[in-house]
Amino acid sequence: MLSRKTLLPAAILAGLSASLLSTVPARGQEAPLVTVSVKPLHSLVAAVMQGIGEPKLIVGGAASPHTYSLKPSNAADIENAKLVFWLGPNFEHFLEEPLKSLAANATVVSMQEAPGITKLPFREGGAFEADDDGDHAEEAGHHDHADAGFDLHFWLDPQNAVAMVEDIRDTLVKADPAHADQYRANARAVEANLEALDRDLADQLSPLKDKPFIVFHDAYQYFEKRYGLKVAGSITVSPETPPGAERVSEIHDKIASLGATCVFAEPQFEPKLISVVTEGSQAKSGTLDPEGGTLPEGPDLYFTLMRNLANALTDCLGKG
């Protein structure tokens, strides 16, 4: 006969086992197949799915969505997916038609429609200081996002990332209720980390306000607005199209007139332009990677990407 001392641990163990079993899906229950367009968004989806499944990534490695061509393996990932997450048709143009033909059995979720996303108006041309008189508006039609009406690099504000995580969570819970509790717990953890990231970046970047700098293309408006930074202009209007001689000359003059202390390249595009526009000036150069092209994919990428942007700005502007 078991003693009372023996029965108590057994009862506790039985209760723990029942509790654990209530959170574990039935045998054979697998996570849905999920495919994601670009690295920053993939990172957030992967974080919400951590411990449940791993989403597929379409634009991997150092590739850019601005110049990407769909591969057969990407087509298969889309065709087999239950969920497809992308920023939206005005960013990943190359995906618009494939999604119509390949994602017949998938729920396609556009992050540009996520509730709570703050959208900033698209800035025309590359010389977008506050008193811009619109002289460059004729060039805006060449920008691949101009038809969107708003800037599509919205992931570069951590508060928008919070809104994205909430939409990702709700979508996954609806598609896979067996793992709902874990999706919700993961999302809470990611949101707490995003709030901490936002506070850290605000503290780090505060001394850099009012220090003008030039970027390769106009991808940073959300980051600028969030942290009070001062981008004086971009070298090119569209990252797919090299700037003409007039644009290069204009940026060269702007660096001198504004005293821009840094000019930033991007790893996916031609870096020689940076040396051309900074020639004869005191401006330093650096690299910003807004899409995480140089980073390994996964749940940590978003946080590393944002900290790398802040560190690159601090390293260059902080020396001026």
List, for residues 156-166, the tens digit of each pLDDT value.
Answer: 999 999 999 99
Residue 1 in domain? no
252 vs 76, residue with greater confidence: 76
Averaged over 278-301, what is the pLDDT?
91
Residue 77 in domain? yes
Whether 45 has a pLDDT exceeding 50, the answer reads yes
Residue 311 in domain? no
Work out how many domains the chain is built from and give that number: 1
Residue 276 in domain? no
> In this structure, what CATH number is given to the domain that contains residue 163?
3.40.50.1980
Residue 73 in domain? yes
The string of pLDDT tens digits covering residues 120-147 is: 988 765 554 433 433 333 333 333 444 4
Residue 217 in domain? no
Residue 191 banded pLDDT, cuts 50, 70, 90: very high
| Domain extent at residue 169 | 34-114+157-199
pLDDT for 271: 65
Residue 251 in domain? no
Handedness of CA 117, 123, 127, 130 (dihedral sign): negative
Whether 215 has a pLDDT exceeding 50, the answer reads yes
pLDDT for 28: 45
Whether 268 has a pLDDT exceeding 70, the answer reads yes
Residue 18 banded pLDDT, cuts 50, 70, 90: very low
Residue 80 in domain? yes
Residue 304 banded pLDDT, cuts 50, 70, 90: very high
pLDDT for 86: 97
Averaged over 201-215, what is the pLDDT?
93
* pTM for this entry: 0.82
Q: Which of 60-69, 115-124, 153-162, 227-236 has the highest mean pLDDT?
A: 153-162
pLDDT for 102: 95
pLDDT for 50: 97
pLDDT for 149: 75
